[in-house]
């Protein structure tokens, strides 16, 4: 059942699995989001974007709604046991959004503090959250699941990716030879998930079809960090 997905992840760095969440499950998740106080620093609101960082810390009631038996079984089938959640963000790209994201890899992890460690760096801080680029082997083993609460296609900012780019280590966008690369858009129906490696080059266009795009972005790892550091959003699944 999952053979083609395993091959897609290994070769291309991503796969799309449909029908993980039903309409009632999506409604329940959105109800929890909509009744949350959005005045905190971890919430970012503008005409073109609504985002919640540290999503499950801010809305812990959503955890049981997200980590259903079907999602957990899918994670185990694709990656085995031992993984835990290390970061969660909710993104809402509204109908009139002109927000876009340039080509990039997800090169940082969220941790509890800043400290000097070999192989860790550079460091950044967003909304009082420390982030650091870890050694390459940690990034290579991590994975991300993007839960789609709306249908997404090229018209409302579904991710564009460069298949196979996760196999090239740190791959700076400014060094890409586009004559040797192709891009593809990852259309996903509401209730489906996109699974990707963090080193996969990806980007997102502006919205052009006046349709919303709501996504829960969750990162997973099974890496033991040095004793000086702790995962900032660690959550067992």
Give the C-alpha separation, 205 to 158, whole Å: 7
Q: Which residues contact 202 (CB under 8 A, 6 or more apart)?
A: 101, 103, 104, 105, 159, 160, 161, 162, 196
Q: How many domains does the chain have?
A: 1
Structural domain includes residue 237: no
Structural domain includes residue 226: no
Structural domain includes residue 231: no
pTM over 0.85: yes
DSSP-derived secondary structure letter, 155: G
Structural domain includes residue 233: no
Q: Supply the range of the domain harboring residue 124.
A: 3-221
Structural domain includes residue 88: yes
Structural domain includes residue 236: no
Which residues in 116-212 belong to E strands, given as ranges? Answer: 123-126, 129-132, 143-148, 159-161, 184-185, 193-196, 202-204
Give the C-alpha separation, 113 to 30, whole Å: 31
Give the C-alpha separation, 111 to 25, whole Å: 30
Structural domain includes residue 227: no
* Tens-level pLDDT at each residue, the chain (237 residues): 899 999 999 999 999 999 999 999 999 999 999 887 666 655 555 554 588 899 999 899 999 999 999 999 999 999 999 999 999 999 988 777 677 889 999 999 999 999 999 999 999 998 788 999 999 999 999 999 999 999 999 999 899 999 999 999 999 888 888 888 999 999 999 999 999 999 999 999 988 888 989 999 999 999 999 999 999 999 998
Structural domain includes residue 8: yes
Domain containing 44 — which CATH number? 2.60.120.620
Give the C-alpha separation, 220 to 136, whole Å: 15
């Amino acid at each position: 059942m999952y053979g083609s997905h395993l091959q897609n992840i290994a070769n291309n760095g991503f796969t799309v699995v449909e029908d993980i969440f039903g309409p009632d499950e999506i409604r329940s998740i959105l109800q929890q989001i909509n009744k949350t106080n959005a005045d905190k620093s971890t919430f970012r609101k503008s005409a073109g974007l609504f985002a919640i960082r540290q999503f499950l810390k801010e809305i812990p009631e959503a955890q049981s709604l997200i980590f259903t038996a079907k999602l957990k079984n899918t994670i185990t089938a694709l990656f085995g046991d031992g993984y835990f959640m290390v970061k969660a963000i909710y993104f809402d790209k509204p109908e009139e959004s002109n927000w876009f994201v340039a080509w990039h890899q997800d090169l940082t992890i969220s941790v509890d503090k800043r400290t000097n460690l070999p192989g860790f760096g550079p460091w950044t801080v967003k909304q009082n959250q420390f982030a650091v680029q870890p050694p390459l082997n940690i990034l290579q083993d991590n994975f991300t699941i993007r839960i789609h609460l709306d249908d997404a296609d090229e018209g409302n900012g579904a991710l564009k990716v460069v298949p196979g780019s996760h196999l090239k280590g740190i791959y700076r966008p400014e060094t890409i030879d586009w004559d040797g690369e192709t891009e593809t858009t990852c259309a996903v129906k509401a209730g489906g998930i996109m699974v990707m490696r963090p080193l996969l080059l990806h980007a997102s266009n502006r919205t052009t079809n006046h349709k919303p795009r709501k996504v829960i972005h969750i990162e997973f790892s099974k890496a033991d960090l040095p004793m000086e550091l702790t995962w900032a959003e660690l959550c067992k699944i």
